[in-house]
């Protein structure tokens, strides 16, 4: 026992052991699950931040097979994950992977890009997202590597090279893809993708299913509510979120109503000089019966949401 421990320490000291064994030699073995005849999902069972346990795989990717190639929506937290996604795509189609869309600039949705660029794909996103990617990308590669104890290592960065306007339709392989901005609902530069014929919406982190909407300090709550109402009015049959299981329009309506109620209660509470924790108790008391059963994380996330909206009132 002692000897092996000493040996390990010695090896670590000279740099022979820099990563857990699984990080260097195990690849992701994703399976592509059909959503419809030409749309597939690769759903991460993990929620929360990249960690050693999930090896960085905490977000969903989707792909659409067209007659002219494959379009991939979001590429995961590392180049290695990107390679795993490519393998899953190859298991269902021989079409080349031609397009990648990044829903937004949060690194768990686009650091897999380089794997796709290596096989000839073009990366499409918004200019605003790319600016954030350029600012934060390298720092996050390093942070993810630390957080996952090396599992996401050796990720090269590949930025988008094509940019979407506020509302844009592209016909790719005879399929119409509509793109539109959330107007910073979740983060600056978010874009959603809509297949009008099949009524399938790809939401990135603007849309949620099992968990409450993911708010970030750069997100705009009123614009998120407007976007959710817009998406609900499209009457999608399938809703594909950036994290959690695919869902339907009821989740969108639920999220819009919840956010509207929380926004209103915080605003009104702030205006009548209530403290954030008083408002939180009121929110949990008033909305808990209805919404607690509908989310996996009602109490922890209302706390986060109320504090964030409260801070926005102060700003
Ligand atoms: Zn995000």
Q: Residue 273, Cα to own-chain centre: how many angstroms? A: 36
How many A from CA of 35 to the centre of ligand 1? Answer: 22
Closest by CA position to 63, among listed 29, 87, 38, 95: 38
Closest CA to 23 of 106, 91, 81: 81
Q: Are 182 and 259 in contact (CB under 8 A)?
A: no
189 plus 59 within the same structural domain:
yes
Going from the Cα of 104 to the center of ligand 1, the distance in angstroms, rounded, reads 7
Same domain as 166, residue 104 = yes
Q: How much is the pLDDT for 244?
A: 94
Mean pLDDT across 10-37: 58
Q: Which of 247, 263, 285 is the last residue of a domain?
A: 247
**pLDDT value for 47:** 81
Domain boundary among 188, 213, 247: 247
Q: Say how many Å lie between the first and final Cα of the chain, rounded.
A: 58
Q: Is 9 in the same domain as 56?
A: yes
Say how many Å lie between the CA of residue 105 and the centre of ligand 1.
Answer: 7
**pLDDT confidence tier of residue 12, bands split at 50, 70 and 90:** very low
Tally of structural domains, the chain: 2
Q: Is residue 74 within 8 Å of 101, Cβ to Cβ?
A: yes
67 & 182 share domain: yes
Does 239 have pLDDT greater than 50? yes
282: containing domain: 250-315
245-262 per-position pLDDT tens digit: 999 999 999 999 999 999
Same domain membership, residue 140 and residue 12: yes
* C-alpha dist (Å) from residue 248 to 6, 28, 210, 231, 255: 55, 28, 11, 11, 12
> Do 53 and 114 fall into the same domain?
yes
CATH code at 168? 3.60.15.10
Mean pLDDT on 114-137? 97
- Answer yes or no: do 92 and 106 share one domain: yes
Residues 257 and 280 in one domain: yes
State the distance from the centre of ligand 1 to the C-alpha of 198, rounded, in angstroms.
25
Structural domain ending residue among the three candidates 223, 247, 271: 247
What is the CA(14)–ligand 1 centre distance, in A? 38
Crossing angle, helix 249-271 and helix 276-291, to 10 degrees? 150
Answer yes or no: are the C-beta atoms of 269 and 282 closer than 8 Å.
yes
Output the CA 44–ligand 1 centroid distance in Å.
14
What value does the mean pLDDT of the chain take? 91
The verdict on 134 and 206 lying in the same domain is yes
Identify the band that residue 279 occupies on the pLDDT scale cut at 50, 70 and 90. Answer: very high
Q: Is the domain of 60 the same as that of 185? A: yes
- For tokens 């990717």, name the residue: 61
**Whether residue 123 is found in the same domain as residue 6:** yes
Same domain, 98 and 169: yes
Single pTM value for the model: 0.90
Low-confidence winner among 26-30, 136-140, 187-191, 234-238 (lowest mean pLDDT): 26-30
């Amino acid at each position: 026992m002692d000897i092996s421990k000493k040996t390990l320490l010695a090896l670590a000291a000279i740099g022979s052991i820099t990563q857990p064994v699984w990080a260097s030699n195990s690849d992701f073995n994703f399976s592509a699950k059909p959503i419809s005849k030409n749309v597939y999902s690769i759903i991460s069972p993990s929620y929360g931040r990249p960690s050693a346990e999930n090896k960085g795989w905490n977000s969903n990717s989707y792909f659409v097979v067209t007659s002219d190639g494959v379009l991939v929506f979001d590429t995961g937290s590392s180049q290695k994950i990107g390679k795993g996604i490519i393998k899953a795509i190859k298991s269902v189609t021989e079409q080349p992977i031609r397009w990648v869309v990044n829903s937004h600039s949060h690194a768990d949705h686009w650091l897999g890009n380089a794997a796709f660029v290596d096989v000839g794909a073009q990366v499409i996103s918004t200019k605003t997202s790319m600016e954030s990617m350029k600012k934060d990308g390298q720092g996050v590669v390093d942070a993810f590597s630390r957080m996952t104890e090396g599992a996401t290592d050796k990720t090269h960065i590949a930025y988008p090279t094509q940019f979407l306007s506020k509302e844009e339709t592209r016909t790719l392989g005879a399929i119409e893809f509509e793109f539109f901005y959330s107007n910073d609902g979740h983060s600056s530069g978010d874009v959603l993708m809509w297949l009008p014929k099949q009524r399938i919406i790809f939401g990135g982190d603007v849309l949620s299913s099992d968990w409450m909407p993911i708010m970030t300090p750069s997100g705009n709550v009123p614009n998120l509510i407007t976007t959710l109402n817009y998406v609900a009015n499209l009457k999608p049959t399938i809703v594909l979120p950036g994290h959690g299981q695919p869902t339907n329009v009821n989740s969108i309506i639920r999220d819009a109503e919840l956010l509207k109620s929380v926004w209103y209660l915080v605003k009104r509470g702030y205006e009548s000089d209530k403290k954030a924790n008083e408002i939180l108790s009121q929110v949990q008391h008033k909305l808990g019966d209805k919404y607690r059963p509908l989310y996996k994380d009602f109490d922890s996330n209302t706390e986060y949401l109320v504090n964030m909206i409260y801070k926005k009132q102060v700003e």
